[in-house]
Amino acid sequence: MSQQVVILGAGLSGALLSVLLARKGQQVRVYEKRPDVRSGKMEEGRSINLALSYRGLAALEEAGVADQIRSIVIPMPGRMMHSPKGDLTFQPYGKEGQFINSVSRADLNRLLVEQAEASGVHLYFQHSCEAIDLKNNEARIRALDSGRLEPVKADLLIGADGAFSALRGAMQITPRFNYSQQYLEHGYKELTIPPTASGDFAMEPHALHIWPRGGYMMIALPNQDRSFTCTLFLAYEGETSFARLSSPEAVMDFFEKDFPDAVPLMPRLTEEFFENPTSDLVTIQCYPWSRYHHNLLIGDAAHAIVPFYGQGMNAAFEDCRIFYKMLDEFPHDLSSLIDHFQLRRKPDADAIAELALRNFIEMRDLVADPAFLERKKIEAELHRRFPDRWIPLYTMVTFTHMRYSEALKMGDQQNRIMRKVMKQFHSASVLKEEDYKKIVDRLKM
């Protein structure tokens, strides 16, 4: 493997990959256009907290930082559904002991950057990649404080520079490069539920809160400072949309009608609504992820997805873990390493992109549908009785590192079976022992 590695982006995947590569004895330099995350300046337009699950933790484990990160997360073993009347229903995500974790993006990034520096990685903040000579594997980097532009050459150049990657931008104008970007009609806006006057969480902290309302929804994840970050997902245009919420009165009316239990917990609702940006949701797919076999896109640069499965960062971290593992298989053959990596990961990136889009409908709509909830109960019972044969899709994606493409295939098969089951039974309470056996026997393994 090459010696001089240059990584564009010290975000989540760039910082993690730099640690992993340094562990393999590579000389790694990382160029990041933003200020050092340790300086405390918050980024605009990024989600404040994220759901970290099994795949992400497995990668952090390889980098030796999982325990440190576990100490700064808040476990969320299920969803707390808020009905329009304010009734609460808790739905576990998996079995006892299975949970996802709310983590602050800034804290996680800070820890990874610290670990990178401690591992001997050279980090250059406020250094933006402006152009790339793909053939020569040379990035043109501008130091934003001095304005100086310098060429930086690499044996391996990694684009961990996010959904609007400079490396991918250079690849996009080369022949036979496939690329698509698909925006949702919905945007998102972050709002806050602060701690109560006595300094407590204003709602149950060990849950991901959801207010499903059909075509739109709000969610909230807990933070270490006992606040919650809420995210409103709403169409840009139309009957119920950001476009219609153009005055504080309109915002208040909308929230009082749709999220009445949240309103008393959001003292700065209307101020925040107009102060905070509305951001886009995009799926980006492309291939190949390398040109000339000496550069590689990873994370959002290769596959940006919508956030509804809570898997974008987890998938980006899984890229890093798989690449790291493959280094041992191809220690002296960069070309084969890159080829094997992209061939292996592309179907999985496409699968999680599809699952994330589908989960928007599940979260905003189905989680409040009684028939869907009955189906979930039957599936949970199938999993309890046949833990190795019937694994619910959410569990496969969130609590295992089964390939996303296999999880999608298995989930589609389960769907076909469950559609028939639900026509026959309607409710979990009428199923007998032998019915569960018959259902599981329909699975083609």
In the complex, the residues that contact ligand FAD under the rule CB under 6 A are 8-14, 31-34, 47, 50-51, 128-129, 160-162, 166, 188, 231, 299-301, 307, 310-314, 316
- Minimum distance of ligand FAD from residue 328's CB (angstroms): 23
CA gyration radius for the chain?
23
Closer to ligand FAD at the Cβ: 37 or 417? 37
Q: Which amino acid, one-letter code, is at 54?
A: Y
Query: Which residue in the shown chain puts its C-beta closest to ligand FAD?
Result: 11
- Minimum distance of ligand FAD from residue 12's CB (angstroms): 4
Cα gap 367→318, rounded to integer Å:
28
Closer to ligand FAD at the Cβ: 269 or 301? 301
- Minimum distance of ligand FAD from residue 200's CB (angstroms): 24
Helix axes of 312-329 and 334-364: crossing angle, nearest 10 degrees:
160
Cα gap 163→303, rounded to integer Å:
7
Closer to ligand FAD at the Cβ: 117 or 161? 161
> 355-382: buried (b, 16+ CB within 10 Å) or exposed (e) per residue?
bbbebbebbbbebbeeeeebbbebbbeb
Bridge partners of residue 212, in order along the sequence: 217
Query: Measuring CA to CA, which residue among 10, 13, 5, 70 is closest to residue 298?
Result: 13
Query: Distances from the Cα of 290 to the Cαs of 91, 219, 305, 322, in angstroms?
Result: 42, 36, 19, 16
Query: Distances from the Cα of 376 to the Cαs of 218, 370, 392, in angstroms?
Result: 22, 10, 9
> 158-180: buried (b, 16+ CB within 10 Å) or exposed (e) per residue?
bbbbbbebbbbbbbeeeeeeeee
- Minimum distance of ligand FAD from residue 23's CB (angstroms): 18
Closer to ligand FAD at the Cβ: 184 or 428? 184
- Minimum distance of ligand FAD from residue 392's CB (angstroms): 19
Closer to ligand FAD at the Cβ: 75 or 260? 75
- Minimum distance of ligand FAD from residue 125's CB (angstroms): 9
- Minimum distance of ligand FAD from residue 435's CB (angstroms): 36
Closer to ligand FAD at the Cβ: 52 or 338? 52
Closer to ligand FAD at the Cβ: 295 or 314? 314
